[in-house]
Amino acid sequence: MITIENFILITILSPLIVCVLTPFTSKNTILRDFLGPIGGIISCWGALNIMSSVLNNQNTTLEIVKIAEGISIGFEITPLGAIFGLVASFLWIFAAIYSIGYMRGNKEKNQTRFYAFYAMAVHAALCIAYASDLLTLFIFYEVLTFSTYPLVTHNQNEMAQKAGRLYMSILVGSSVILLLPAIIWVWVATGSLEMSQNGVLDGKLDVAYAPLLLAMFVFGIGKAALMPIHKWLPAAMVAPTPVSALLHAVAVVKAGVFTMLIVLTNVFGIDFLAKTGASEWLIWLASFTLLATSIIAIYKDDLKARLAYSTISQLSYITLGGALATSMATQGAALHIITHAAGKITLFFVAGALYVGAKITKISDLNGHGISAPLIFLAFFVGSLSIIGVPPMVGSWSKFFLMLGAADSGYVVVMGVFCISTILNAFYLMEIPARAFFFKKEREINIKIPKLILIPTLITSFLTILLFFFIEPFQNLTSIIVSRI
C-alpha cells in the first residue's frame, strides 16, 4: 500500500528524476527521448491517486525541508492542486511524445538540454500544484521561470535573446517586486505562511488595505498574463512549439492562474472578497483583458502569436471566475483550467505540426492545404470548437459554469463579456480550418507530418470530446473546493 505522501513524492519527483537522468543518457538518444513519456506516465499515475484521495476527503501535509523557524518547503493536497497536477502531468505524456517527433523532425540542436529543462519545468509546475504554503508556491514559481528560460531561448539567436530578456524581466520583475512583498505582508499580518480553505486574512488585515494587497498579488503573478503584464507570453512564442504547447498553454500559464485562484480563495477567501468588494476592480480588469486580447488575436497573422493572444484571453476567464467570488464562478474557473488546457495544447500541436511538416507559420499561407493534411486540420477544428465552447466539447462545461457564476454574482455585464468573447473566439479560430478547407490553393506544398507528432495531436483533440462525457469526477473535485467554503 502506497501512502498519499508517497504519491505526492512520486508525482513531483518523477519529472525531476527525468531531468537528472537526461544528461547521462545523451549518448543513447532513444532512451533519452523516451524518458519523458515514461516519467509522464508514472507522474500521472501518482496524480490520479492523489485525485482519488482528495475525492475521498483524505488530507495530508508533507514537510520536505525546514529552512528556518517558520519557513519550510512543504506539500499538501488540495482539490484545486489535484486538478492542476493531473492536467500538467497527464498532458506531459503527450507533449513529451510530441517533442520527440518535433525535435527530430526539425533536427533541432542541443536536444539533451532541451529535454532536461523541459522535465525541470514540469517538476516546478507540479510542485506549485501541491505547494502547502505561500513560500513554497513562490519558490517553485521562480524555479519555473528560470527553468523555462533556456527553453525560450533555445535557438540562441538574436531574436531569442530579445524575447528571453522580455520574458525574464516581466516575469522575474513582477514576481520579485510585487508578489514577494505581498506574500511577506500576509506573513507579517497573519504570523504564518500557511493558507487555509476559507482564507486567512479575515480579521487580520485592515479592510482598507485589501484592494492594495490584492493588486500586489494580481500584478505580481505575471504568469496569469493580465494586461498590462501580458507581453511576455507572445514573446515566449519564439521557443520551439512543444514548449509553447505544454508550457505556455498549460504548465506556466496555468501555474499563474492557479496561483491567482489559490490567492483569491485560500488567502483572501471568497467570503472576505465578497464582503469587502476588494476584487471588484479585478472583474473589470479581467473583462477588459479578455476582450482586448481577443480583438488583438484577430489581427495576428502569425499562427502561434494568434494562439498566444487567445491564451491570454482564456486565462482571463479563469481570473474573472475567481474574482466574481461566487461558488459557481469559482467552479467554472477551476474547470476551465482543465478544458482550456486540453483544447489549447491541441491547437499548439497543430501549429507545430504545420511548421515541421511544411514550415508554415502564417495563417494566410494555409489557404487550401486542408485536403493534403486533413487529420491535422480536423484536430484543430475540434480543439477550436472546444475553446469556443460548443457542445459536445469539454469547453462548453466551463463556460456554462462561468456564465452561471456571472448570473449569480449580479454582474450582468460580465455575461455580455462572455458572449461577445465567444463570438470573437469563433471568429479568429474558425478562420484557420475555413482557409484550409474552403479557400483556393495558391501554391503546392507537400505537408509531411511525422507519426510522433500526429498521434498525440489526435489524442488530445479526441480528449476534448471524451472529457465532455466524463466531466463528473472533475466536477466533484471543484464542488469540494466550494463546499468547504
> Does 159 engage in binding with another protein (CB under 8 A)?
no
* Contact region with another protein (CB under 8 A), list: 4-12, 46-54, 135-143, 249-257: 135-143
> Does 208 engage in binding with another protein (CB under 8 A)?
no
Q: Count residues contacting another protein (CB under 8 A)?
A: 29
Residue from the set 34, 45, 146, 462 that interacts with another protein by CB under 8 A: 146
> Does 187 engage in binding with another protein (CB under 8 A)?
yes
Decide: 83 and 35 in contact? Cβ < 8 Å.
no
> Does 364 engage in binding with another protein (CB under 8 A)?
no
Decide: 37 and 126 in contact? Cβ < 8 Å.
no
**What is the C-alpha to C-alpha distance for residues 207 and 209, in angstroms, rounded to an integer?**
5
Q: Helices 327-358 and 472-483, interaxial angle, to 10°?
A: 140
Q: Which helix (H) or strand (E) holds 104?
A: helix 79-106
Residue from the set 2, 3, 66, 275 that interacts with another protein by CB under 8 A: 66
Residue from the set 142, 271, 280, 431 that interacts with another protein by CB under 8 A: 142
Decide: 255 and 125 in contact? Cβ < 8 Å.
yes
> Does 164 engage in binding with another protein (CB under 8 A)?
yes
**What is the C-alpha to C-alpha distance for residues 157 and 162, in angstroms, rounded to an integer?**
9
CA angle 350, 342, 437 (to 5 degrees): 35
Q: How far is the CB of 69 from another protein (least distance, A)?
A: 7
Q: Dig out the grid coordinates for 304 from the structure.
A: 502561434
Decide: 463 and 344 in contact? Cβ < 8 Å.
no
**Near another protein in 319-338, by CB under 8 A:** none
Q: Give 138 or 217: the residue with its C-beta nearer to another protein.
A: 138
Does residue 397 sit in helix, strand or coil? helix
Count of beta carbons in the 10 Å neighbourhood of residue 485: 14
Q: How far is the CB of 91 from another protein (least distance, A)?
A: 26
Q: Give 138 or 355: the residue with its C-beta nearer to another protein.
A: 138
> Does 68 engage in binding with another protein (CB under 8 A)?
yes
Residue from the set 20, 55, 139, 426 that interacts with another protein by CB under 8 A: 139
Q: How far is the CB of 355 from another protein (least distance, A)?
A: 23
Q: How far is the CB of 114 from another protein (least distance, A)?
A: 15
**What is the C-alpha to C-alpha distance for residues 255 and 315, in angstroms, rounded to an integer?**
11
Q: How far is the CB of 208 from another protein (least distance, A)?
A: 13
Q: Give 52 or 155: the residue with its C-beta nearer to another protein.
A: 155
17 by Cβ neighbours in 10 Å (0-12 / 13-18 / 19+) ranks as middle
CA angle 74, 126, 290 (to 5 degrees): 115
Residue from the set 185, 284, 400, 437 that interacts with another protein by CB under 8 A: 185
Which residues sit opposite 75 in a β-bridge? 62, 131
Q: Give 131 or 303: the residue with its C-beta nearer to another protein.
A: 131
Q: Give 142 or 302: the residue with its C-beta nearer to another protein.
A: 142
**What is the C-alpha to C-alpha distance for residues 371 and 293, in angstroms, rounded to an integer?**
31
* Contact region with another protein (CB under 8 A), list: 5-13, 180-188, 332-340, 385-393: 180-188
Q: Give 176 or 413: the residue with its C-beta nearer to another protein.
A: 176
Start-to-end CA distance of the chain, whole Å, equals: 32
Phi, psi of 184 (to 5 degrees): -70, -30
Q: Dig out the grid coordinates for 283 from the structure.
A: 472583474
Q: How far is the CB of 245 from another protein (least distance, A)?
A: 24
> Does 404 engage in binding with another protein (CB under 8 A)?
no
> Does 176 engage in binding with another protein (CB under 8 A)?
yes
Residue 48, C-beta contacts closer than 8 angstroms, at least 6 positions apart: 86
**Footprint of another protein (CB under 8 A):** 65-69, 71, 138-139, 142-143, 146, 153, 156, 160-161, 164-165, 168-169, 172-173, 176-177, 180-181, 184-185, 187-188
